[in-house]
Amino acid sequence: MIKHFYLLRDIDETGMSGTGKVSEGVVLPNGIAIMWWLIEPYSIQIYESIEKLEYIHSHGRNTTKVVWEKYK
């Protein structure tokens, strides 16, 4: 099953990506996470796991959180 998520950023420590909903992504059944930014330069990134993605983008401080999309 593919799981959908977005990143919700409380604090923009780098001044580059803004705050609020800054990206969206999916986690594939094999655990690989694919994320795309909603702000310029609109890049797409692939991570070994959602845990690594969250750690990297929260800068180790819980300033950015993965929010799971719920579909009916």
Confidence at residue 46, expressed as pLDDT on a 0 to 100 scale? 98
Sequence-distant (6+) residues with CB within 8 A of 58 are 64, 65
Confidence at residue 60, expressed as pLDDT on a 0 to 100 scale? 65
Handedness of CA 50, 52, 56, 60 (dihedral sign): positive
* Per-position pLDDT tens, the chain of length 72: 999 999 998 776 666 667 789 999 999 999 999 999 998 889 999 999 999 998 888 766 777 889 999 875
- The pTM of this model reads 0.84
Sequence-distant (6+) residues with CB within 8 A of 62 are none
Domain ranges (residues) in the chain: 3-68
